[in-house]
Copies of this chain bind each other. A is one copy, B any other.
Amino acid sequence: LKESRRILDSNQPTPAIPFQHGLSAIASFPIDVWVKLTNRNYYYLQRNNFGYGEPAGYSPLRHAVANYLNAFRAVKCNPEQVIITNGAQHAFDLIGRVCLAPKTDVLMEDPGYVSARQAFQSFGATIIPVRVDANGFDLDSALSESRNARLAYVTPSHQFPLGVTMSLSRRLQLLEWAKRANAWIVEDDYDSEFRYEGRPLPSLQGIDQDGRVFYIGTFSKTIFAALRLGCLVVPPDLIDIFAAVRALNGLHSPLIAQATLAAFIDEGHFTRHIRRMRKLYRERQEILVSECEKLLAGKIDVKLSESGMHLIGWLNEGVDDRDMSERAASVGIKAASLSSFSFNEVSRGGLILGYTSTNEKQIKQGVKKLAQIFVSNKT
C-alpha cells in the first residue's frame, strides 16, 4: 500500500505550468483538423465498425505507423509488427507480461524513467541501476553488476532525463550483448521527433539484426498525452503472443481515436505539426536558456541542447535538488529534481526544466519565480 502511494505520487496529473516536462504545446495543436477527422470517422465507421475490433490495433493505423517509423525513425518493421497501445506505459506493461518473471534482472539507466521502473518492478523484477555517461548507458558497468539480466531498458535517442545520445559503438555493444545473452532491449523513443540540429539518429531497432529490440513510440508528446495512444514494435515471432496479451489487457485501443490518428498521419498533418512544434520548441528552449543566463547565472547552469523537450538545470555542488524542487512547487512551479529519477545518490543536483507546454511569457515568469527561490535560499 505504501508502494501504491509512491506510484500514485509519481503519476499525478500534469497541469501546463512552467516547467512541467514531457507535455506538448496544447494550445498550438491543430484541434480543428483533429475534430474534423474525428467527426468524419464517427460517421464513416458507424456503418459497421463499432463492435469489438483487432486486439493488435486498427489496421489502417498500424500501416500508417509502420510507414512513419520506417521513413522517419529507420525502424525496420512491417505493419503486422506494430501493436497499438494505450501509450508507452501500456507497452512497458505488455513487455513485462511477456518477458519478466519474479527475480528477473532488468538493466535500467540511472537516472532514468521512474514509471518504466515501477512497471517492471510490479512483475517482481530486480532493477539493476546502470550508470549513464556522455555516451549513454554504460553496459560494461552494468555487466559487472549482473551477469544474467534478461532485459535492458534504454532511451538511446535522448536519454531521459540527462539528454545524452547513445553512441553508435555503445549501441552495437548493447545489441551484441542481447544476442549473446538471449536478452531483450526496450528502446523507449519518447521524444526523438524533436531534434533541432544535425541529422536525427536512426533507431536502435533499425540496426538490430537479431530481433532482440522492442521499439516503443508514443503519441503523448507529438499529439497530446490525454489521447492515450502509442505503439510497440515487436519482433515478427512475437506478434501473436503480444496480440494475445493485448487482448487480455483491455482488448484494444478505442477505435475512433485510432482511426483519427491514422487519418492525421496519412494526410500529412502529423509531420506538418511536428515540423511546426520543432520550430516552436526550439524558440522556447532558447528563451529558457537566455532567461536563466540573465536571472540565474551562477545558480543554475543550463545549456542549449540539440534535441528534446526539457533541459537539466544543474545546481551548484551541495545544493539539494529535492529541496529546491519543493521550494519551486511552493511558488507554483513544477521542476522535478534529478534525484527523484535516480536510484543512487546524484553527484550533482539538478532540476528538470520542461519548456514545451508553456509560452514565452510563462517561461519568463517561471524563471523569475525560480530566481526568487534562490534568493530566499541565500538568506
Which positions in A face B, CB cutoff 8 Å? 1, 3-5, 7-8, 11-16, 20, 23-24, 26-27, 29, 31, 34-35, 38-39, 42-43, 45-46, 48-55, 85-87, 89-90, 92-93, 97, 115, 118-119, 122, 220, 224-229, 240-241, 243-245, 247-257, 357
Contacts and interface: CB of A to CB of B under 8 A. Distances in A.
B8 A248 contact: no
A88 B90 CA distance: 17
B51 A20 contact: yes
Contacts of A46: 26-27, 29, 31
Contacts of A249: 89-90, 93, 249
Give 3 nearest A-B pairs by CB, closest first. Answer: A90-B250, A226-B255, A4-B244
Contact of A51 (B8, B23, B34, B257): B23
Given A248-B89, A251-B89, A357 B51 contact: yes
Contacts of A224: 50-51
A36 B357 CA distance: 27
A266 B15 CA distance: 25
7 contacts: A1-B240, A13-B52, A86-B253, A87-B250, A89-B248, A122-B245, A254-B257
Contacts of A45: 226
B51 A13 contact: yes
Given A7-B248, A51-B26, A248-B7, A253 B228 contact: yes
A81 to B, nearest CB: 15
A271 to B, nearest CB: 20
Contacts of A43: 31, 35
B251 A87 contact: yes
Contact of A86 (B86, B92, B256): B86
A256 to B, nearest CB: 7
Given A35-B39, A240-B8, A256 B93 contact: no
A115 B55 CA distance: 13
A11 B52 CA distance: 8
A92 B252 CA distance: 14
Most chain B beta-carbon contacts within 10 A, residue among A14, A52, A85, A93: A52
Most chain B beta-carbon contacts within 10 A, residue among A29, A54, A225: A225
Given A16-B51, A51-B226, 5 more contacts: A4-B243, A86-B86, A86-B253, A226-B254, A227-B254
